[in-house]
Amino acid sequence: MENIVDFAGVIFENIEKTKPVVHNISNIVTANDCANITLACGGSPTMAQHPEEVDDITSACDGFVINLGNMEDSVVEAMLRAGKRNNAIGHPVILDPVGAGAAEKRNNVLFKLIDEIKFSVIRGNISEIKFLATGMSGAKGVDASEADKVTEKNIDYVADMAKNLSKKTGAVIAISGEIDIIADENRAYIIKNGCAMMSRVTGTGCMLSSVIGVFCAANKEHILEACVAAVSSYGYAGELAYKKTIENDGGTSSFRMYLIDYMSKMNWEIFKGGALIESR
3-state helix vs strand vs coil in the chain, percent to 5? 55, 15, 30
Q: Which of 211, 205, 193, 226 is nearest to 36 (CA)?
A: 211
Secondary structure of 78-132 as H, E, C letters: HHHHHHHHHHHHCCCEEEECCCCCCCHHHHHHHHHHHHHCCCCEEEEEHHHHHHH
Q: What gap in Å lies between CA 55 and CA 42, rounded to an integer?
A: 24
Q: What gap in Å lies between CA 259 and CA 240, rounded to an integer?
A: 8
> Toward a second copy, which CB reaches closer, 10 or 142?
142
264 binds a second copy (CB under 8 A): yes
> Are 172 and 224 in contact, with CB atoms under 8 Å apart?
yes
Figure out which of the listed residues 6, 7, 32, 278 binds a second copy, where binding follows CB under 8 A.
Answer: 32
Figure out which of the listed residues 63, 83, 99, 238 binds a second copy, where binding follows CB under 8 A.
Answer: 99
Exposure string over 144-179, b if 16+ CB within 10 A, otherwise e: bbeebbbeeeebeebbebbbebbeebebbbbbbbbb
Q: Which of 276, 208, 226 is nearest to 9 (CA)?
A: 226
Q: Check residue 267 and report its DSSP letter.
A: -
112 binds a second copy (CB under 8 A): no
Figure out which of the listed residues 18, 154, 202, 267 binds a second copy, where binding follows CB under 8 A.
Answer: 202
Q: Which of residues 236-255 bind a second copy (CB under 8 A)?
A: 250-254
Figure out which of the listed residues 5, 8, 21, 117 binds a second copy, where binding follows CB under 8 A.
Answer: 21
28 binds a second copy (CB under 8 A): yes
Figure out which of the listed residues 10, 102, 114, 276 binds a second copy, where binding follows CB under 8 A.
Answer: 102
Backbone φ and ψ for 262, nearest 5 degrees, come out as -70, -30
Q: Which of residues 52-71 bind a second copy (CB under 8 A)?
A: 52-57, 60-61, 69-71
> Toward a second copy, which CB reaches closer, 18 or 87?
18
Figure out which of the listed residues 14, 27, 67, 193 binds a second copy, where binding follows CB under 8 A.
Answer: 27
> Toward a second copy, which CB reaches closer, 154 or 264?
264
CB of 214 to a second copy, least distance (A): 13
Figure out which of the listed residues 154, 167, 261, 274 binds a second copy, where binding follows CB under 8 A.
Answer: 261
Q: Which residues bind a second copy (CB under 8 A)?
A: 21, 23, 26-33, 35-36, 38-40, 44-50, 52-57, 60-61, 69-72, 74, 99, 102-106, 140-143, 200-203, 250-254, 256-265
